Chain A
């Protein structure tokens, strides 16, 4: 059901006629939330950005759902990276210590290895995801959109009540 939902969302987004840059930005911001573990201050901030900025919200939700599944398997790598950044780079330790002793900053749980690892990864991956997804949208619309429209399964998906309900959700 989750998979069908995801595919339906993706198809809906790709066929929505929205600006590819808005869809890509929403997807990249959603990917950031998806990669970060649990509810942290930074994920709330990104969520607020998704709501406030003119980005595609369904694409953001799609990004959250897709990258949350990946992040679960990437946790050991985030732990390795976070531990390395927090303890092994001597030049950064004064910065971490200063942040640790500042108000609010500790609430981000930046001193947690998985949080730090995932935050850095999501920041580094933001632009590649944005441009990558934007190109994907453009390529799809140019080469695949019409063919897919004619598929029987598309008609089924479009006719399902779930998709109809989803399509009613509007944030703008």
Chain B
């Protein structure tokens, strides 16, 4: 045993204890000042740091952090900051901070000395989020209202338009031509039947003349009549089927000609679309004007949502083996005294406005409860609440909950900012429809963000009264819509805006509603309504005239062919009817003749 080493070790322990007890505050003060100066790049002053090892508490008095941009002012000044730790969890290797309290926090206060430091500033980790946002904005539906001018000229539009109606009419015409060839073939067949009828007439004449007393001759003639009648019936059948086929063809062509009406309607719709005629009822004015900017402003929320959704709860007992990582894997066992590795039970901050500044009369307090590295072990969600109010300026109330104690969490943040005015809000310069700046006499903003593991919804409602838009310095309006929007935004009694940003998985959707839509729509309707009506009427008339002309032309051709064929059919049918009557009359006459001689001659098989 080396006793000398034991004494050295014991001496070292005592020395450390004495140093920490006597000079701990001073060492901590020096360390804190230096660390914060490295971060801010400006002077940090702390009047005292008290370290109590028995109570495990640290108290920092009169903290002043100088503003690096204006070193004669402080960014933050706090009268007292207290940290209090729980000793017992330290024995379990856990850090539980009972409370962090920041009292009388003030911002932008005057300094008595210059807080300038000659240290280089740390580079900021920003930029990536902005680039991502630009990409998503590129896909935004932005109403291109400027493209509408000069689209009301019907002649100009029709010059460049190829009618589907023309193509369909050509189709009908070629169908008609094909049918005409078929009808001509049928007509030739009918002509042959006509010749046969003529031959039948000759035969009929022969039957009427000659011996009509001899029963044997009569019977022979009756036999001839029978065969001629059968032939006539066959011919009637043929004519009927030709007629039926013809009428069917005619109906088909007629229906095709009628269908041209639908084609013409399609043409009309296409031309209207090509004209890009504004339809005020379908215009999303607010989305076009403000969508891009609002989405731009939502990048902070989107990043917050991404980070919150990435925080998945951990399994407590018997976790699956992780792939080996340097440093190993911590296995957590259940237990009554199992603390999270880091827990801050409560942070309380109170602040007030600096006297003699614009923020005089301002008071705020914020509380955050349950900040922990392992929410599943702690078992309680994180709560935060902020209340701030300033006389004649406005009031802010916000609260929220982040629950990572279970996998199916439901988080929310709510904020309400009321009773404030906006003396001048500069708007982006790249949007030619928006004013350079707006002033709002009284405004209220309500926002709510809810999120679960797979989706989120941001719902923001803004109500502003007596809005005045300032277009000074903006170039002259380039088109009618621009003029109308400017007129509407120059002075507005009430503007109400509802912005909803929803994310499901990786899909983002945005909804934007505002009374601005109605205001601008009404003005657009009033101004361009008459011009639009004239255009629509003229276009409709032109399309219908074209349809009528095509239909008349096709019907004319159809009728011409139809008349010819129908005349043939009709003539043939009449002739066949007369011939049939003649056959019947002659047959009756011969049968009567045979009846007189009944009994004189009976021949089997000749009974009519």
Distance between Cα atoms of A77 and B136 in the complex (Å)? 47
Cβ contact within 8 Å between A111 and B2: no
Cβ contact within 8 Å between B331 and A76: no
A103 / chain B contacts, CB cutoff of 8 Å? 88, 91-92
Interface presence of A100 (CB below 8 A): yes
A51 / chain B contacts, CB cutoff of 8 Å? 2, 5, 9
Q: B residues 1-35 with Cβ under 8 Å of A?
A: 1-2, 5-6, 9
Question: Range of interface residues on chain A?
Answer: 20 to 34
B335 / chain A contacts, CB cutoff of 8 Å? 97, 100-101
B331 / chain A contacts, CB cutoff of 8 Å? 83, 86-87, 96, 111-113
Distance between Cα atoms of A114 and B331 in the complex (Å)? 11
B1 / chain A contacts, CB cutoff of 8 Å? 52-54
CB distance from B474 to the nearest CB of A (A): 64
Distance between Cα atoms of A106 and B334 in the complex (Å)? 13
Interface presence of B328 (CB below 8 A): yes
B324 / chain A contacts, CB cutoff of 8 Å? 75-76, 79-80
Interface presence of A62 (CB below 8 A): no
Cβ contact within 8 Å between B330 and A101: no
A93 / chain B contacts, CB cutoff of 8 Å? 333
A112 / chain B contacts, CB cutoff of 8 Å? 327-331
Q: B residues 329-350 with Cβ under 8 Å of A?
A: 329-338
Question: Range of interface residues on chain B?
Answer: 20 to 34
Which chain A residue shows the least CB distance to B339?
A106
Partner of B2 from the list A37, A52, A117 (CB cut-off 8 Å) is: A52
CB distance from A62 to the nearest CB of B (A): 19
Q: B residues 375-427 with Cβ under 8 Å of A?
A: none
Q: A residues 115-135 with Cβ under 8 Å of B?
A: 115, 117
Partner of B328 from the list A54, A106, A115 (CB cut-off 8 Å) is: A115
Cβ contact within 8 Å between B9 and A48: yes
Interface presence of B321 (CB below 8 A): yes
Interface presence of B79 (CB below 8 A): no
Interface presence of A107 (CB below 8 A): yes
Cβ contact within 8 Å between B5 and A101: no
Q: Is the interface of A mostly helix, strand, loop or mixed?
A: helix
Interface presence of A104 (CB below 8 A): yes
Q: A83-B329, A100-B333, A111-B333 are known contacts. Are A106 and B92 too (CB-CB below 8 A)? A: yes
Interface presence of A171 (CB below 8 A): yes
Q: Is the interface of B mostly helix, strand, loop or mixed?
A: loop
A54 / chain B contacts, CB cutoff of 8 Å? 1-2
A113 / chain B contacts, CB cutoff of 8 Å? 328-331
Interface presence of A61 (CB below 8 A): no
Cβ contact within 8 Å between A79 and B333: no
Which chain A residue shows the least CB distance to B6?
A52
A67 / chain B contacts, CB cutoff of 8 Å? none
B318 / chain A contacts, CB cutoff of 8 Å? 87
Q: A52-B1, A52-B5 are known contacts. Are A37 and B327 too (CB-CB below 8 A)? A: yes
Which chain B residue shows the least CB distance to A117?
B328
Cβ contact within 8 Å between A96 and B329: no
Partner of A106 from the list B6, B93, B329 (CB cut-off 8 Å) is: B93
Distance between Cα atoms of A30 and B330 in the complex (Å)? 25
Distance between Cα atoms of A54 and B3 in the complex (Å)? 10
Which chain B residue shows the least CB distance to A110?
B331
B329 / chain A contacts, CB cutoff of 8 Å? 79, 83, 112-114
Interface presence of A109 (CB below 8 A): yes
Distance between Cα atoms of A35 and B94 in the complex (Å)? 25
Q: A100-B333, A101-B336, A101-B337 are known contacts. Are A171 and B327 too (CB-CB below 8 A)? A: no
Cβ contact within 8 Å between A107 and B2: no
A76 / chain B contacts, CB cutoff of 8 Å? 324
B88 / chain A contacts, CB cutoff of 8 Å? 103
A79 / chain B contacts, CB cutoff of 8 Å? 324, 328-329
Q: A100-B335, A172-B2 are known contacts. Are A75 and B91 too (CB-CB below 8 A)? A: no
Distance between Cα atoms of A150 and B331 in the complex (Å)? 55
Distance between Cα atoms of A83 and B330 in the complex (Å)? 9
Interface presence of A26 (CB below 8 A): no
Interface presence of A78 (CB below 8 A): yes
Cβ contact within 8 Å between A114 and B328: yes
Interface presence of B326 (CB below 8 A): yes
Distance between Cα atoms of A51 and B7 in the complex (Å)? 11
A117 / chain B contacts, CB cutoff of 8 Å? 328
Interface presence of A82 (CB below 8 A): yes
Which chain A residue shows the least CB distance to B93?
A106
Cβ contact within 8 Å between A97 and B333: yes
CB distance from B64 to the nearest CB of A (A): 36
Which chain B residue shows the least CB distance to A94?
B333
B92 / chain A contacts, CB cutoff of 8 Å? 101, 103, 106-107
Cβ contact within 8 Å between A53 and B328: no
Distance between Cα atoms of A48 and B8 in the complex (Å)? 11
CB distance from B174 to the nearest CB of A (A): 81
Which chain A residue shows the least CB distance to B328?
A114
14 CB-based A-B contacts, threshold 8 Å: A52-B1, A53-B1, A53-B2, A87-B331, A97-B333, A103-B88, A106-B92, A106-B93, A111-B330, A111-B332, A112-B327, A112-B328, A112-B330, A112-B331
Give chain B's interface residues, CB within 8 Å of chain A.
Answer: 1-2, 5-6, 9, 88, 91-94, 318-319, 321, 324, 326-338
List 9 additional contacts besides A101-B337, A107-B93; criterion CB under 8 Å. Answer: A51-B2, A54-B1, A80-B324, A87-B321, A100-B335, A101-B338, A112-B328, A112-B329, A114-B328
8 closest Cβ contacts across the A-B interface? A114-B328, A103-B91, A101-B335, A106-B93, A100-B333, A113-B328, A51-B5, A97-B333
